[in-house]
Amino acid sequence: MLSGPWLLPGHDGRLLVYALVDRSVLRWTESAPGGDHWLGPDILPAPDVTRLTVAQGGNRYVHLIGRQVRENGDGNLAAELVYAIQYQAGRPMSEWRTLGNPQPSRPRSAQTGLPAAAVDAAGALHVFAPTAEGRVLLRREDAKGRWEPWLDLGVTAALDTPAAVATTSGHVALLAPARAGALTWCQRGPDAPMERGHDLPVLALPGSATGLETSPGRVTWYLTDLRGGGIVAARPGEWPVPLGGDPGDGRHAALTTVLGGRPCTVLAHRDAAGRIMLGVCAAEDERNGVWWTDTGTTCLGDPVLARDSRGRVVVLAVAADGGLILARQASGRELVLGDWIRIGTNRWPTPHVEV
């Protein structure tokens, strides 16, 4: 089973790759910032973890939150959430610690969904867990490592796989797919409570949404709308903007960059035929069109995006044969990719076990 991959910048400028494979987290690290050689994979055993999400804050700490399912004493399945942290690139990760279950006494607690997570500007980790009853619960760890109790966000119609994003202004935003639309929450400022925002008039495919800060303090959600089957850009208080395309069933990747001297948004997804598609538009100007490019490369799962130490856009994906492939922006003024390279061998290598 594969979950991920994730592509993140480390504290020293080197990129990091994470993937959950057969209940172990594999990690690769660039040997030098911006280079084509990689170290790893290293491994963090993740017993009984079948689903994983990864979040990173401004301090570059990497937070891994897993959904762990085990049999309890009466032979039934029970789920709990666990987490681990990597503080510096190339260093060992911490042991898994438990976050418990937001509704441990409920008979359907084993159906707790995949959480979303975001780290605010102060370094506080927010974990949002969807439940089988349609609720979303929040547990927050402050910057000093103290965990607050679970907090119910007060809805009963949410579906699995919410999405969360933290802005540079210090607040966290959340979107949860629902049966009749998409639910949103946001903070009015740092350390403020999560408040219900505008419901978005889209039927978001669970697992497809990605939030991106497209201007200071302002979040745009990119997702697959089940009504039309295409991609939309949605901002609270505005009508969604159709972006076209024929996306598959995965998550959209998004990042901001500067192309030709203009702030731009870069999008990536796997289309219905399994090909990696890239899109570019001026920041928050999706109505004037998104320039889509078929990379001609197929993948498994969702492609991901990051910028390397030189500011180049990097695309990472799992190739059709199971190997990790990566391509970097070749030109600084436009989004033209260079050659695809492989990280490691053609398939998942035998990892090195950390001690």
pLDDT given at position 264: 97
**How far is it, in rounded angstroms, from Cα 20 to Cα 46?**
8
Nearest alpha carbon to residue 29 among 55, 51, 11, 3: 11
- Give, as one character, the DSSP assignment of residue 333: S
Q: What is the pTM of this model?
A: 0.93
pLDDT given at position 351: 42
pLDDT given at position 347: 55
- Listing DSSP states for 280-291 in one string gives EEETT-GGG--E
pLDDT given at position 228: 84
Angle at 306 between CA 121 and CA 65, to 5 degrees: 55
- Listing DSSP states for 316-327 in one string gives EEEETTS-EEEE
- Residues 255, 305 contacting (CB under 8 angstroms): yes
Angle at 83 between CA 308 and CA 349, to 5 degrees: 55
Report residue 273 as tokens.
Answer: 């035929």
Nearest alpha carbon to residue 327 among 339, 311, 310: 339
Q: Does the bond joining 130 to the residue before it have cis omega, within 30 degrees of 0?
A: no
Report residue 185 as tokens.
Answer: 């929450």
Nearest alpha carbon to residue 181 among 213, 161, 204, 151: 204
**How far is it, in rounded angstroms, from Cα 255 to Cα 210?**
10
pLDDT given at position 130: 93
pLDDT given at position 329: 96
User: Per-residue confidence of the chain (355 residues) as pLDDT tens digits?
Assistant: 457 899 999 999 999 999 999 889 999 999 999 999 999 899 888 988 989 999 998 889 999 999 988 777 676 777 889 999 988 877 788 889 999 888 766 666 677 888 999 999 889 999 999 998 899 999 999 878 899 999 999 999 999 899 999 999 889 999 999 988 999 999 988 888 999 999 999 999 999 999 999 999 999 999 999 988 899 999 988 999 999 889 999 999 999 999 999 999 999 999 999 999 999 999 999 999 999 999 999 999 899 999 999 999 999 999 988 899 999 999 777 899 999 999 965 455 444 444 2
pLDDT given at position 201: 93
**How far is it, in rounded angstroms, from Cα 96 to Cα 288?**
46
pLDDT given at position 211: 98
